[in-house]
Amino acid sequence: MENKISDTSARLHGRACRVMPGGVNSPVRAFNAVGGEPVVMTRGQGSRLYSVDGREYIDFCGSWGPLILGHAHPTVTAAVQRAAADGTSFGTSTPSEVELAERLCDLIAAMERVRLVNSGTEACMTAVRLARGFTGRAKILKFAGGYHGHADPFLIDAGSGLLTGGIASSAGIPDAVGADTLVTPYNDPDAVNTLMQRYGTELAAVIVEPVAGNMGLVPPVAGFLEELRRLTRDAGVVLVFDEVITGFRLGPTTFGTLQGIEPDLICLGKIIGGGMPMAALGGRADIMDRLAPLGDVYQAGTLSGNPLAVAAGLSTLGVLIGTNPYPAIARKGERLAKRLRALAVEQGITMQVAQLGGMFTPFFGSGPIRNLDDAKRCDKERYARFFRKMLQAGIYLPPSPFETCFISTAHTNDDIEKFIDAAKTAVRD
């Protein structure tokens, strides 16, 4: 069963290809990893997406993570509408951005100062620049398969769209950038220790997704993050947690706070913008105060702290804190993963289902999946067939085997049952 789209969607995609590279504004949307042509969406409501073809889909992609409350949550949309009525952008300080900054610092143990920016890429890029300015060192350490946006140093052995496209790195990155970027396997503290012993005095930062989400969902093994904290502290290296995905995804704070681990800098995005372009960098006051205008590390943004994005973020956080939906979301995630694992066993399918809270990834391969090499050994073509069959059944998943699926507050138990019903056919060859 293939992904067939209507003449309307095909015409739109054809028009897009004439004016946009690949017909998309972000590579994974092109469906290159799963085959067929991308579905063009016009509307979202709750757990549903609606296409120009008049089809309805249960959405387990969730705009790649921001929509923990589902599409068009009434509290969020009302807040954005009220903010828009007062103006879309001022280029000045606003009361609401102060309120959001205060809220983030109150909720995140390691966040003494925060700078609002526009994207996760910008937050991570600034974190590395700030760490270099603070330490006076040049090298950084990242983990194979980790994705921290598309700034130059992050596109070496990166995850997400680079894996989807089968690209180990990107053209246009100078050799000198690669020379200052060290890469080691995720979940391997011994490899980190070896690099620290050799390069510790040259390293400015270690940047890590505390829960990897861009090679599929890969949680940290016991003790891995704690060892990173010990090693970086001993070497005077800035530890950066990229919580663009995990911030406010598993609780009303960061994953690091939930685990009792305090990095030096934290990158946030996705949920804190409630579906609007919003991200943040925060952490220790002595490091953050090196940012201009107080310090000598420059960062700026015309739309940073945009009032519409701030309104969406504040309202989203308000709903999350006021209702505490996390236990219910986790129960749905556990139910889906348990049922999908049982289905794989029942049908004799080799499949691992990684799940943490409302995040999950089906890996068509033998486990455990602990790092990029494990993820890449899984059957990508099998996932592509699974994706297409699920799409035909009205289930929208990330169009890549190296991404994470998300459950929102809008997903019902019936949505979970429909996922499993569709998967009964989709897991078969």
Q: What share of the chain is helix, strand, coil (3-state, %, to 5)?
A: 45, 15, 40
Told to judge if 147 belongs to the known catalytic residues of this protein, a careful annotator would answer: yes
Other residues' Cβ atoms within 10 Å of the Cβ of residue 252: 16
User: 203: part of which helix (H) or strand (E)?
Assistant: strand 203-208
Q: Is 181 helix (H, G, I), strand (E, B) or coil?
A: strand
Told to judge if 424 belongs to the known catalytic residues of this protein, a careful annotator would answer: no
Told to judge if 186 belongs to the known catalytic residues of this protein, a careful annotator would answer: no
d(CA 275, CA 279): 11
Active-site option among 59, 242, 264, 415: 242
User: Whole-angstrom distance between the N-terminal and C-terminal Cα of the chain?
Assistant: 10
- Cβ contacts of residue 361 below 8 Å, gap of 6+? 216, 217, 353, 354, 355, 403, 404, 405
Residue 267's beta-bridge partner residues? Answer: 242, 281
d(CA 281, CA 133): 15
- Cβ contacts of residue 322 below 8 Å, gap of 6+? none
d(CA 3, CA 34): 9
Active-site option among 270, 332, 380, 389: 270
The crossing angle, in degrees rounded to 10, of helices 307-323 and 95-107 is 40
- Cβ contacts of residue 105 below 8 Å, gap of 6+? 111, 112, 113, 114, 282
d(CA 91, CA 222): 45
Active-site option among 139, 142, 147, 374: 147
Considering only CA atoms, give the Rg of the chain.
21
The Cα-based distances of 280 to 111, 126, 265 in angstroms read: 11, 10, 10
d(CA 355, CA 334): 7
**Strands 48-51, 41-45: pairing kind:** antiparallel
Question: Which letter, b or e, does each residue of 333-371 get, where b requires 16 or more Cβ atoms within 10 Å of its Cβ?
Answer: bebbbebbbebbeeeebebbbbbbbbbbbbbbbeeebbb
Closest CA to 246 of 263, 233, 228, 229: 263
**Which are the catalytic amino acids?**
147, 242, 270
